[in-house]
Amino acid sequence: MTDTATDLLTWAGILEIIRNGNPLPPRRDERSPADWREVLTPDQFYVTRQHGTERAFSSAMCAVFEPGRYACACCGTELFDAQSKFDSGSGWPSFTQAIAPGLIAYTLDTSHGMQRVETTCNVCDAHLGHVFPDGPAPSGLRYCMNALALKKLA
């Protein structure tokens, strides 16, 4: 569900997407695991292609708040604007909203004995992190992203 006045995705909207299916991506990038290994560092491959998680507070990206955009480290799709970034204190870069619908896919994640919503790049299926309903207004969302899954653009 989006807020029609501002087009913000809300938690209810994310749950609706999980029930009804993710929107079609703007394009697809379907490289093989071998192709991804050639362009990613071993740590990036582990996080993005094997659904890993980097250690909390392991990246300086958490403290970067300069203007710009954040793109998928795998395919380069722009996902977040720095204006939606905030310090969640979680140890991972956090955002309140993606820059446009259809860029991020949402999947119910029941691993590790909990229920969470996994976020992946809708273009190349890279694991980005998770989204939670405990972020600041107006969306109430906290996209908790692995810094290794993102690259900061000027």
Residues with catalytic function: 144
In this structure, are residues 35 and 29 in contact, taking their beta carbons and an 8 Å threshold?
A: no
Alpha-carbon distances, residue 139 vs 19, 53, 88, 147 (angstroms): 20, 25, 14, 22
In this structure, are residues 20 and 137 in contact, taking their beta carbons and an 8 Å threshold?
A: no
Residues 6+ apart with CB under 8 A from 88: 94, 135, 142, 144
Q: Which two tokens stand for residue 57?
A: 């507070």
CA–CA dist 150, 11 (Å, integer): 23
